[in-house]
């Protein structure tokens, strides 16, 4: 046998068993293929984004890493028989009884084919790992993390792959400790099931595609505003201002642990006092003493009747202690009952006043628009709505814009241009992920996005929308349609999906259904507000021209019974250098719904927070 032929067998006998999370030091691999700047590995997108999908790189040595999506093992029975025949695979040892026992010196010779994904693109890479490099039992399981150094080659098994990597070194191995408990061990779990494992679901093909599309839409959002002369402004997440007036807000407070209503915390409750001549503390002490007595009787094995009596006594004492602990806990909960917010003294709170998680950043954004011109913000907004809607979660990301010297028409124009820009961007920049979405999620998604880009949006006032809805005799709505009621999701969907079959802009709403800061129209009944409604998704943008007249704004604040004190800073903007201005809020999570065809917003938000549900 030549040296070249002997090499594999030698490697097989000398290969150590790789432990979980084992890391090997490797010399830098020299290659002309661009590597990730901060991890010195080649990401799969670099290979598969080439026109030849990496075929021209055959023979190149690279380092790649990712997570196992699927795998298979090819055993080599002929090679194993050959080793047994020549006694290479086993050796004899004497056991404790003096006999001979045979132990394998190396694992069974086999080749493992892994489908690896690193999240950089939709494609996975086939990696071929010989069992002499790592035990198959450790690398076959889906979810296993592996980093290898190897050589690019044409596929050895044919199939759909353009290239594969033949591993020569395993540099890192992160095993799945319990495959039965690993949620992604099951194939094609439905999206609603994956919500319980938000920390694992990015490893699925669907959620990974959604995430890349979401990332691209984020880039597109900043691109639009930067190219149109807007300045990016960060607005606060914690605020003292109810940005919409009478909205459902999350309170921010540190007073919850300080709301003792009856007794000071150091005053004993009735349970800790003498109860029938015995306190809880003395019972616990007795419990410990009796436990020691039982243990002593067990060790001496002297009197079985005494042991049984001691065990019975210990059981009764334990029950009494449990009852008293339960009563004490109940009394403490009663003593520390939460007080309603209007009863709390917020001067003792962290900010010395009542504070909330922000519902909208538009009010704060106005202060910068009235100094810098056109500004925008992008961040999380919070509403404590007890809703199970597929289009709402408690924490949603919003894109908000404010433009000085602009009126309602300009705001509607900017909102339309932004929506068209985002849809066009996804179609042009997310080709591979959109192909997957088209195949697996929604076969009409591309046509719907193209329609948004190419069609003129239908524009109609609120009063006309109400007339159209009233004429829909064959359509039954949960809420009666009449002038003055807010349009619900089903009203909006009917107009966009059934009547116009394209995006719709509804404007001039009754003042009662819109926030206090919206500019009052000349009729004294309606305000300069608008909503952009898209088929299948609903209202994705809500905007308005805001009231620049201090008298009109003050009147609206009084009409709604809002606290004028918390809006003094906002009124100051009208008293000092006021200007006409308009803007809008785009619900970014709904744009991701629109771009992916997913039906529930909780499946496009990385870590959704919804009514009654928060997992991590």
The Cα–Cα gap between 422 and 214 comes to: 11
Structure confidence at residue 325 (pLDDT)? 78
Q: Which residues pair with 130 in a beta bridge?
A: 111
Domain CATH for 20: 2.40.50.140
Residue 374 in any domain: the answer is yes
Domain end residue (candidates: 313, 337, 361): 337
Distance CA 295, CA 289 (A): 10
Domain of residue 26 covers 3-185
Is there a domain that residue 616 lies in?
no
Same domain, 587 and 546: yes
Looking at the structure, tell me whether residues 146 and 35 fall in a common domain.
Answer: yes
Look at the block and give the residue holding tokens 């010399």: 27
406, 499: one domain: yes
C-alpha–C-alpha distance, residues 312 and 74, integer Å: 62
Q: 343, 253 in Cβ contact below 8 A?
A: no
- Count how many residues are written for the chain: 616
Same domain, 236 and 265: no
Domain assignment present for 496: yes
Same domain, 106 and 138: yes
Q: What is the pLDDT of residue 332?
A: 64
Handedness of CA 261, 262, 268, 272 (dihedral sign): negative
My answer on whether 243 and 174 are in the same domain is no
Residues 279, 372 within the same domain: no
| DSSP one-letter string for 117-159 | E-SSSS--EEEEEETTTS-HHHHSSTT-EEEEEEEEE--SS-S
CATH code, domain carrying 571: 3.30.930.10
Query: 282, 309, 337: which is the final residue of a domain?
Result: 337
Which stretches in the chain have pLDDT values below 50? 1-16, 19-22, 79, 83, 87-108, 260-277
pLDDT attached to residue 271: 42
Asked if 285 and 418 sit in the same domain, the reply is no
Q: 596 is written with which tokens?
A: 């992916």
Tell me: the pLDDT tens digits for 135-151? Answer: 999 999 999 999 999 99
Do 68 and 162 fall within a single domain? Answer: yes
Q: Is residue 193 part of a domain?
A: no
Q: Is residue 608 part of a domain?
A: no
Q: How far apart are CA 469 and CA 5, in angstroms?
A: 81
Q: Is 200 contained in some domain? A: no
Q: How many domains does the chain have?
A: 3
pLDDT at 255: 86
35 assigned to some structural domain: yes
Backbone angles phi, psi at 60, to 5 degrees: -75, 140
Q: Are residues 474 and 327 in the same domain?
A: no
By the 8 A CB rule, do 102 and 92 touch? yes
**Same domain? 175 vs 51:** yes
104/529 Cα distance (integer angstroms): 78
Out of 276, 305, 337, pick the residue that ends a domain. 337
Whether residue 423 lies inside any domain: the answer is: yes
Task: In whole angstroms, give the CA distance from residue 354 to residue 364.
Answer: 18
Please give the model's pTM, rounded to 2 decimal places.
0.79
For residues 438 and 449, is the Cβ–Cβ distance under 8 A? no
Q: Are residues 240 and 368 in the same domain?
A: yes
């Amino acid at each position: 046998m030549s040296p070249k032929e002997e090499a594999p067998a030698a490697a097989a006998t000398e290969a150590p068993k790789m432990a979980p999370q084992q890391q090997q030091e490797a010399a830098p691999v020299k290659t002309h293929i661009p590597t990730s700047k901060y991890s010195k590995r080649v990401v799969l997108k670099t290979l598969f984004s080439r026109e030849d999908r990496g075929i021209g790189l055959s023979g190149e040595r690279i380092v790649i890493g990712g997570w196992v999506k699927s795998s298979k093992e090819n055993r080599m029975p002929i090679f194993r028989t050959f080793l047994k025949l020549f006694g290479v695979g086993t050796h004899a040892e004497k056991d404790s009884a003096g006999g001979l026992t045979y132990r394998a010196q190396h694992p069974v010779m086999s080749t493992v084919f892994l489908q690896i994904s690193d999240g950089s693109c939709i494609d996975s890479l086939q990696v071929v790992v010989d069992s002499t490099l790592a035990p198959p039992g450790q690398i076959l399981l889906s979810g296993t993390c592996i980093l290898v150094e190897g050589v690019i080659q044409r596929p050895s098994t044919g199939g759909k792959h353009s290239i594969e990597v033949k591993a020569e070194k395993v540099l890192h191995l992160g095993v799945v400790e319990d495959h039965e408990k690993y949620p992604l061990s099951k194939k094609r779990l439905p999206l609603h099931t994956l919500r319980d494992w938000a920390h694992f679901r990015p490893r699925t093909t669907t959620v990974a595609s959604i995430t890349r599309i979401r990332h691209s839409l984020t880039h597109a959002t900043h691109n639009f505003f930067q190219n149109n002369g807007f300045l990016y402004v960060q607005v606060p997440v914690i605020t003292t201002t109810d940005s919409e007036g009478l909205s459902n807000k999350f309170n921010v407070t540190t007073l919850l642990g300080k709301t003792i209503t009856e007794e000071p915390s150091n005053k004993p409750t009735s349970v800790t006092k003498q109860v029938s001549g015995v306190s809880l503390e003395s019972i616990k002490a007795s419990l410990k003493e009796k436990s020691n007595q039982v243990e002593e009787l067990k060790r001496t094995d002297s009197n079985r009747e005494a042991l049984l009596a001691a065990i019975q006594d210990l059981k009764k004492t334990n029950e009494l202690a449990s009852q008293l602990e339960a009563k004490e806990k109940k009394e403490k909960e009663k003593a520390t009952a939460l007080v309603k917010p209007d009863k709390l003294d917020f001067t003792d709170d962290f900010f010395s006043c009542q504070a909330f998680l922000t519902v909208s950043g538009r009010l704060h954004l106005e202060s910068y628009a009235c100094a810098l011109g056109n500004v925008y913000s992008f961040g999380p907004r919070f509403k404590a709505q007890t809703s199970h809607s597929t289009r709402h979660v408690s924490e949603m990301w919003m894109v908000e814009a404010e433009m000085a010297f602009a009126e309602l028409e300009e705001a509607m124009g900017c909102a339309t241009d932004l929506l068209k820009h985002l849809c066009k961007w996804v179609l042009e920049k997310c080709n591979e992920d959109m192909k997957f979405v088209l195949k697996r999620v929604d076969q009409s998604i591309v046509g719907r996005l193209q329609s948004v880009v190419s069609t003129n949006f239908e524009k109609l006032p609120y009063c006309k929308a109400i007339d159209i809805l009233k004429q829909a005799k064959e359509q039954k709505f949960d809420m009666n349609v009449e002038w003055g009621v807010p349009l619900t999701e089903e009203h909006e969907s009917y107009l966009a999906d059934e009547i116009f079959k394209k995006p719709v802009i509804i404007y001039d709403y009754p003042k009662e259904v819109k926030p206090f800061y919206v500019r009052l129209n000349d009729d004294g009944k309606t305000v300069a507000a608008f909503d952009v409604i898209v088929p299948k998704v609903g209202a994705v943008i809500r905007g308005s021209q805001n009231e620049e007249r201090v008298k009109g704004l003050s009147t609206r604040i009084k009409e709604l019974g809002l606290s004028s004190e918390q809006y003094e800073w906002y009124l100051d903007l009208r008293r000092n250098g006021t200007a006409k201005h308009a803007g809008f809020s785009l619900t970014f999570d709904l744009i991701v719904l629109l771009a992916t065809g997913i039906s529930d917003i909780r499946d496009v938000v990385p870590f959704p927070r919804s009514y009654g549900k928060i997992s991590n």
